[in-house]
């Protein structure tokens, strides 16, 4: 088992290399020498299109990776993830409702605010529905309920959408993508993601104590109510802000902690920062991949992550079933 610092150093190096590739990769490859030439049109592609996309990929990936590790640590459930448990779907529902009602055009903050409020509500409902149990089945059922409610709300918005523009925007949010994002999108999401991740990091001691169960955590002086709401606000802000600018990108929070546990151990607090960097690496790599796939239209990032994460989720379920048996 490698040390945590070594793994984080390797992850940071990989993230830096992928960021450089992300700035160059696409239908048109841009060599490093042409990145900062003011008179070169390829420089505009890098600075105006690919730089915001790359920074958003790292930011959103980090928020999803950390949120997944925190939820898995809190619930002692290896299947916990903002996407699987319906938090991302609730955030998308909040964003979709602003598009359906047309109020997203009134102010730039309306859509992200609705997404974050819906995500916070989703986490609170999830923790409330599941209760204090650590049962895998209970959390999966609670997540199914949230996903069903959010899916039904989005379906209603699609079927009753007042115009084709609203339908197209709703579909785009549900599929998730980093294409055509700008620095203003990053500026809008980054403060809330930083605050959300900061709140999640404050729960590290409580997550470690919860390895002993809730009774053991309380005996160590952990305030479970405060931990629950701090986690709900943190995951809600981080996930909601990401969904607000990119749409739903699933399975990052599920996959990342599982890939890192064999390398750095299973201590929940020790997984938070590595999972953030690992999530950034995964989203960066997936975003580069969708740009390089030969197709008329670019494959949506959310679709690509579902295609990669679905088999991983199935393998994880089969592994859990063998352990139980």
More confident residue, 144 or 6: 6
Of the given ranges (6-20, 163-177, 268-282), which has the lowest mean pLDDT? Answer: 163-177
Residues 142, 126: contact at Cβ < 8 Å? Answer: yes
Fold of 4-324: ABC transporter involved in vitamin B12 uptake, BtuC (1.10.3470)
Average pLDDT, the chain: 84
Give whole-number Cα distances, 307 to 248, 310, 312, in Å: 14, 6, 9
Q: What is the pTM of this model?
A: 0.87
For the segment 309-314, the average pLDDT, to the nearest whole number, is 77
| Euclidean distance between CA atoms 58 and 50, whole angstroms | 12
211 exposure class (CB count in 10 Å sphere: 0-12, 13-18, 19+): middle
Residue 1 clears pLDDT 70, i.e. is over it: no
Nearest to 45 by CA among 149, 167, 180: 180
| Euclidean distance between CA atoms 62 and 194, whole angstroms | 10
More confident residue, 236 or 12: 12
Give whole-number Cα distances, 314 to 132, 255, 306, 317, 323, in Å: 26, 12, 12, 5, 14
Q: Which two tokens stand for residue 96?
A: 């979709």
For the segment 208-214, the average pLDDT, to the nearest whole number, is 83
Residue 136 clears pLDDT 60, i.e. is over it: no
Q: How confident is the model at residue 20 (pLDDT cuts 50, 70, 90)?
A: very high
For the segment 262-289, the average pLDDT, to the nearest whole number, is 93
pLDDT at 52: 92
Percentage of residues of the chain with pLDDT beyond 70: 95
pLDDT at 77: 77
For the segment 108-114, the average pLDDT, to the nearest whole number, is 83
- Which of helix, strand or coil describes residue 35? coil
| Euclidean distance between CA atoms 67 and 80, whole angstroms | 9
| Euclidean distance between CA atoms 232 and 253, whole angstroms | 15
Count of residues in the chain = 325
More confident residue, 107 or 263: 263
Domain boundaries, the chain: 4-324
| Euclidean distance between CA atoms 241 and 324, whole angstroms | 37
pLDDT at 325: 57
| Euclidean distance between CA atoms 86 and 104, whole angstroms | 23
Per-residue pLDDT tens over the stretch 187-209: 888 999 999 999 999 999 999 98
For residue 156, the Cα-to-chain-centroid distance in whole angstroms is 25
Complete DSSP assignment for 146-173:
HHHHHHHHHHHHHHT-SSHHHHHHHHHH
Per-residue pLDDT tens over the stretch 44-85: 788 888 999 999 999 999 999 999 999 888 888 777 788 777
pLDDT at 137: 66
Nearest to 283 by CA among 8, 11, 5, 73: 11
pLDDT at 179: 86
């Amino acid at each position: 088992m490698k040390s945590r610092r070594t793994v984080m150093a390797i992850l940071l190096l990989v993230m830096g290399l992928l960021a450089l590739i992300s700035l160059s990769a696409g239908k048109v490859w841009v060599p490093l020498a042409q990145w900062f030439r003011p008179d070169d049109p390829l420089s505009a592609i890098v600075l105006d299109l690919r730089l915001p996309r790359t920074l958003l990929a790292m930011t959103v990936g980090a928020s999803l990776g950390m949120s997944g590790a925190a939820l898995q640590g809190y619930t002692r459930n290896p299947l916990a993830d903002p996407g699987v448990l319906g938090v991302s779907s609730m955030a998308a529902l909040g964003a979709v409702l602003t598009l359906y009602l047309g109020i997203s055009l009134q102010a730039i903050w309306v859509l992200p605010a609705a997404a974050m409020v819906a995500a916070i509500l989703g986490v609170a409902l999830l923790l409330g529905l599941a209760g204090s149990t650590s049962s895998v089945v209970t959390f999966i059922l609670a997540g199914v309920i949230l996903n069903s409610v959010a899916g039904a709300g989005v379906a209603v918005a699609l079927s009753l959408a007042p115009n084709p523009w609203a339908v197209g925007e709703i579909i785009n949010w549900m599929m998730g993508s980093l294409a055509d994002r700008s620095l203003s999108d990053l500026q809008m999401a980054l403060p809330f993601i930083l605050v959300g991740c900061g709140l999640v990091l404050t729960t590290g001691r409580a997550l470690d104590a919860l390895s002993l169960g809730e009774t053991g955590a309380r005996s160590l002086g952990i305030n479970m109510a405060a931990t629950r709401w701090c986690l709900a606000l943190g995951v809600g802000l981080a996930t909601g802000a990401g969904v607000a600018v990119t749409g739903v990108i699933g399975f990052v929070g599920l996959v990342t902690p599982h890939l890192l546990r064999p390398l750095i151990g299973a201590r929940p607090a020790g997984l938070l920062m590595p999972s953030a960097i690992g999530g950034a690496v995964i989203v960066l790599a997936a975003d580069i991949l969708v740009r390089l796939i030969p197709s008329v239209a670019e494959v949506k990032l959310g679709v690509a992550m579902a295609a990669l994460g679905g088999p991983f989720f199935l393998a994880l379920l089969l592994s859990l079933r063998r352990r139980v048996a």
